[in-house]
Structure 1
Amino acid sequence: METKKVFISYSWGLQEHQEKVREIGTRLMSDGIDVILDQWSLKDGHDLNFFMESIVNDNTINKVLIISDKNYSLKADGRKGGVGTEAQILTPEIYGNTQQEKFIPIVFERDEENKPYLPTFLKSRKYIDLSTEEYYEEEYENLVRNILDAPQIRKPKLGTIPSFITEEKQHDSKTYFQLKSLDNQLNKNPLKVDSLTNDFLSIFLDNLWNFQLVNTPRSIGEFGELLINNLSSYREMRNDYIEFLLKVTKNEYNLDVERLISFFEKSSLYKKPRDFGENIRSYYEADFENFKIIFQELFLYTIAIAYKNNNYNLVSDLLNSGYYFSDVTGRNTELEKFYQLYSHNQNLENYYKELENKITGFGHYVITNLNSNISKMEIIFADTLNHYISELQSKNYKKWFPTTYLYKDEYRDFDFFIKLTSKRFFDKVKGIFNVEDVESFKALISNYQQVVEKENRSRPTYGNWHSIPFIFEAVKINKVATER
């Protein structure tokens, strides 16, 4: 960075004032700024007027600092003494020079009404305020940044015009139009959150049938391509769901979890044709694999968003409540847990393995199609949390496997498990583990660890590759709730 040069203009007065001016000049010099100040630059015998005129017209001077106190203000307006002469020289420069940022007023003193002392020709200018000790350091930093052209807040780089403006594209989803009025309705009546949620989710479920696969090919490549294109065409509606969820899961709205539970319970309806038994007598299970993927992904986003919004009670209810799924024949079954929404999605797995040699199909799909409002680590955490809770709950083989964990940053830990050392945080999230206190939580983890060790279980892995730590390895159990 090139050395900047400044000239300090001020009014001679009390010795204390001159020392204060000299201190600023000295400090600027120590900060790498070359300062022209009469106290060390003006020699005996120099013509004062010529010195001032030459400084103002010197192109090597980057800034002129005009230090204004009561004395300077009165003399400049009255055109008295050396200050008056300087004012006559500076005024046309300030008003006529297009580069007006060269002249920086610095307020040294304020009047009885706390108004800054500034001469008339400077009253409309933005100034640096060094009149109070409280903000002195902050304002001094602003001055240095101004001189060095190093603003604390830089103007962002100009980007490109958004594609939704330049592209001929219409968003005709009914969920989109429902979403557009949601904010306004919630602001008017927050108590309507449950009914508005019902309306949105009903429209979403109805529109979801538009994406049913028909006459799917049997080859892995052709089916996989059809499946990916189908999921891509549905993505806008998925993004509507995510934006909707970001709004209604805020704690201030107190959303009834039953609205979301009922929504996911209806996923079982999407395992067979809508009018099965009436006009359709048979179907291929693969024709509904997209719906399995859709509901699994939506649940993942639901947990991630509820946690992002600090709605820990909602996360707890979603992970610990019973779900009343019906089977493909329409018969009711026993209450199940959320991990019934997890599916291996064999065709998606086969397609990505054959096409791109990916270890996990669903994990690759989720990570490569992330919504911009949710980070990679947020979705991986939700996936991992689902896995841990299912491990603690499930007594059989059916569990939630965190397919996205493979994409976790190797040396980055989840904040959730680190923050469990805080009693305040633990008290907020303990419901996620369905426990009442620290002792119950420790017992839960300890009992699980004993079962794992007794059965000689190995860490869950992706084939023979990357493994997923057990929860008792992720949680520092002896440090839980030991800090404030």
Structure 2
Amino acid sequence: MQKKIFISYSWGTNEHQEWVLNLAKRLMNDGVEVALDKWDLQGGHDVFEFMESMVKSEDISKVLIICDKNYQIKSNNRDGGVGAETQIITPEIFSNQKQEKFIPVVAERDENGKVILPIYLASRKYFDLSKEEYFEDGYEELLRNILEAPALPKPKVGKIPSYITESSSNNNQTNFILRRLENQLTKNPEKINSSSKEFIEIFLDNLWNYEFKSTSRDINVFGVELVNNLHSYKEIREDFIQFLEIVTKPEFTLDVDLLINFFEQAPKYDKPRELGNGGNQTPDNFKVIFHELFIYTIAVCIKNTNYVLAGDLLYSGYYYEDDYMRQDGAKNYCYLCGYHENLQTYYSREFNKVTGFGDFVIANLSPRINKMTFILADTICHYISELHFSSSYVNWFPLTHLYKLNNDFDFFKRLTSKRHFEKVKHIFKVSDENELKIVLNTYKNKNSQRERIRYGSGGFNHIPFIDSVIDITKIATER
């Protein structure tokens, strides 16, 4: 919308009148409509009525008050047209909420170099055009003010940080560290690894608070206690997922070894922290926890499109320590996908569920992760284990795939796009599309007489082979 302004000034000398006229012309040339007595006050018009109509008109967005010595004297003494105009403007300034309508423009300084302003404008912000050496800067600032186009526009109000909105009911130590980490990385992103290490160490230490000791050997009682235990850790689980959402953003340079070292700690939680502490100890709860946390980690990497980090997690060696704190060489991530006997027995007997783990984690999915993204992450873990670790003693079975409505994942369908392939190729550990075709065809030919991987013995539901969800011939054939 075009801006219209009125220029108020004292005629004074011819030189001053010319100065005002040139200012008006330049503003007109720069897209501002200017109301000026020399243009708009016709013969026979009432001078005072014209001034009052200009000052009070809603069409006038700004009134420029050109301040020189002559205007100052007449305004302070309420003399002549300027004095009358001052009497009109003064109550407007002090009663109208939009005081920014009246803008003092300094055209002259006194003999001591001080700006000249009438008394009623002495405390107001002005624009200084009194000296040639900074006239251009002052004019641009004035023009931006009129057009409401500041050189430094006020930023839009953003989203309240999650460490403020989500901390009201979560008083866990992990949540405190998480809020501090999020705040630190906003200011100092180079501290990503030291801050992440601190969070992981605190998380692992606090995880022991959820050590499970059943009071009964009855599977019904035992099962309820196990599920309640897993429910109880959801708050710090959400802290971990939010931590992942922050540190796996591609703009950060997170050291993947921090996450690898985290998952290497899983076996330590397979036995009581303190031997002889009583109770019927079972490792099932921690096995479930580390299993689902690995899926969440891959899912968050997919969500943040950090496929390089996801690839590093899927192909790195994990130096797990066994029950006797011995290391037996590097294993792959499939070690985390164990059989959760107690959870499975309880869900099978109580709810007739094919997969206890799958039903539990899907029913208790974090609101931060889309269901399909979580199942996709679980499925990718399975496919990579099939392609690259099929000879291993332990493979990854996607227990959540059963809860997918169909067999189509957009992630795999989009592999016909070269752009998508270039982004996700790290997931498959290949450098180009031809290499992926070779990997998939080798797998397909090697397993030509294979049977479908099913849920349970003779179950109806099965996992589709990867070469049936990816059209090998069309990989990276489109833009």
TM range (shorter): 0.5 to 0.7
1:176 is matched with: 175
State the Cα deviation string for residues 122-180 of structure 1 (Å, max 9, x = none).
668xxxxxxxxxxxxxxxxxxxxxxxxxxxxxxxxxxxxxx989xxx842311010011
Distance 1:462 1:113 in 2: 77
Partner amino acid, structure 1, of 2:454: P
Note if contact 2:452-2:465 (Cα within 8 Å) is conserved in structure 1: no
Q: Runs ≥4 in structure 1, deviation > 6 angstroms? A: 116-119
Match of 1:432 among 423, 427, 432: 427
Amino acid of the structure 2 residue aligned with 1:181: R
Q: Deviations over 1:9-68 (max 9, x none)?
A: xxxxxxxxxxxxxxxxxxxxxxxxxxxxxxxxxxxxxxxxxxxxxxxxxxxxxxxxxxx9
Secondary structure at 1:403 match in 2: coil
Q: What's the CA shift for 1:117?
A: 11
Which range is displaced more, 193-202 or 113-122? 113-122
Equivalent position of 2:185 in the other structure: 186
Residue in structure 1 matched with residue 476 of structure 2 by the alignment: 481
Provide the residue aligned with 1:232 in structure 2: 231
- Could you tell me whether the CA contact under 8 Å between 1:306 and 1:315 is conserved in 2? yes
Of 365, 374, 379, 1:384 maps to: 379
Aligned mate of 1:345, from 330, 340, 345? 340
Alignment of structure 1 residues 353-364 onto 2, 5 Å? 353-364=348-359
Q: Which residue of the partner structure matches residue 255 of structure 1?
A: 254
Q: Given the two structures, how large is their TM-score scaled by the length of structure 1?
A: 0.64
Counterpart in the other structure of 1:457: 451
Correspondence for 2:404: 408
Q: Cα distance 1:329–1:115, how it changes in 2: closer, same or farther (>3 A)?
A: same
Counterpart position of 1:333: 328
Whether the 8 Å CA contact 1:272–1:283 is kept in 2: the answer is no
2:442 is equivalent to residue 447 of structure 1: yes
* Distance (whole Å) between structure 1 residues aligned to residue 441 and residue 377 of structure 2: 23
* 8 A contact 1:220–1:351 mirrored in 2: yes
User: 1:273 touches 1:283 (CA, 8 Å); kept in 2?
Assistant: no
Unaligned runs of 5+ in 1: 1-67, 71-110, 125-162
SS of structure 1 residue aligned to 2:283 = helix
Work out the percentage of aligned pairs sharing the same amino acid: 45
| Residues in 1 aligned to 2:177 and 2:3: alpha-carbon distance in whole angstroms | 61
Displacement after TM superposition at 1:414 (Å): 1.4
In structure 2, the residue matched to 1:139 is: none
Is the 1:345–1:362 Cα contact (8 Å) retained in structure 2?
yes
How many angstroms does 1:475 deviate by? 0.5
Aligned counterparts of 1:434 and 1:164: Cα–Cα separation in 2: 38
Q: Establish whether residue 290 from structure 1 lines up as the match of residue 289 from structure 2.
A: no
Name the CA distance, whole Å, in 1 between partners of 2:253 and 2:468: 34
How far apart are the structure 1 equivalents of 2:363 and 2:348?
15
Greater C-alpha radius of gyration? 2
Q: What residue in structure 1 maps to residue 211 of structure 2?
A: 212
**Number of the residue aligned with 1:304:** 299
Residue 254 of structure 1, CA deviation:
1.0
Distance 1:418 1:192 in 2: 38
- 121 and 468 in structure 1: CA distance in 2 versus 1, 3 angstrom threshold: same
Matched, 1:366 2:361: yes
User: CA 1:397/1:216 → structure 2, altered by over 3 Å: closer, same or farther?
Assistant: farther
- Structure 1 segment 21-60 matched on structure 2, within 5 A: none
Aligned positions, number: 336
| Alpha-carbon distance in structure 2 between the residues aligned to 1:180 and 1:470 | 42
Q: Deviations over 1:302-337 (max 9, x none)?
A: 000011111111000000000000111111112100
Question: What corresponds to 1:141 in structure 2?
Answer: none
**AA paired with 1:324?**
Y
Shift of 1:443: 1.1
CA separation of 1:423/1:451 partners in 2, compared to 1, >3 Å: closer, same or farther?
same
Residue-by-residue CA offset, 1:269-318 (whole Å, 9 max, x unaligned): 00111234xx56x985x621100000001000000001111111100000
SS at 1:275's partner residue? coil
Instruction: Report the CA distance between 1:449 and its aligned residue.
Output: 1.0
Secondary structure of 1:347's match? helix
Letter of the 1:399 counterpart: N
User: In structure 2, how many angstroms separate the alpha carbons of the residues matched to 1:461 and 1:123?
Assistant: 76
Match of 1:265 in 2: 264
Counterpart amino acid of residue 359 in structure 1: V
Which blocks of at least 5 consecutive residues in structure 2 are unaligned? 5-27, 36-53, 62-164
Q: 1:471 to 1:116 in 2, by over 3 A?
A: farther
Question: Which residue pairs with 2:220 in the alignment?
Answer: 221
